[in-house]
Amino acid sequence: MVTAETLISTLNTFVEKVNANLTLKKILKGWSKLVVIKTKDPDTEATLKVEKGTVIDMKFEDTPTADIILSANADVINDIFTGKANPSRLYLDGTLKVFASQKDQMVLDAIVDIVWK
């Protein structure tokens, strides 16, 4: 079982990788979104503020509004953000819930694919 501390560390590492990736910066230069990641066991909510393809802020608190919401148990979220699990497959089998436009879902898939290749 993934702890809140492990999840925070995983998300911090992922944010560092995203922000350091020049290919992502080019692709996402016009992409600005508020992304909320919700987990159960432990009950954690992370909010990532993305401006022009760069994560400029990450907080661990409830956010009333978001452009994108990802929801799954902590083990699944941890596996996605460490590159161990395919988020598209998890979404299709219902393990991962994604509330976003289809375009934003495709952007999320691209981010994960680029970061973990």
Fold that domain 4-115 belongs to in CATH:
Nonspecific Lipid-transfer Protein; Chain A (3.30.1050)
> What are the pLDDT digits (tens) for 12-63?
999 999 999 999 999 999 999 999 999 988 888 999 999 999 999 999 888 8
Q: How far apart are CA 75 and CA 72, in angstroms?
A: 8
> What are the pLDDT digits (tens) for 63-87?
888 999 999 999 999 999 999 999 9
> What residue segments make up the domains of the chain, in order of their start?
4-115
**Local confidence band at 116 (pLDDT 50, 70, 90 cut-offs):** confident
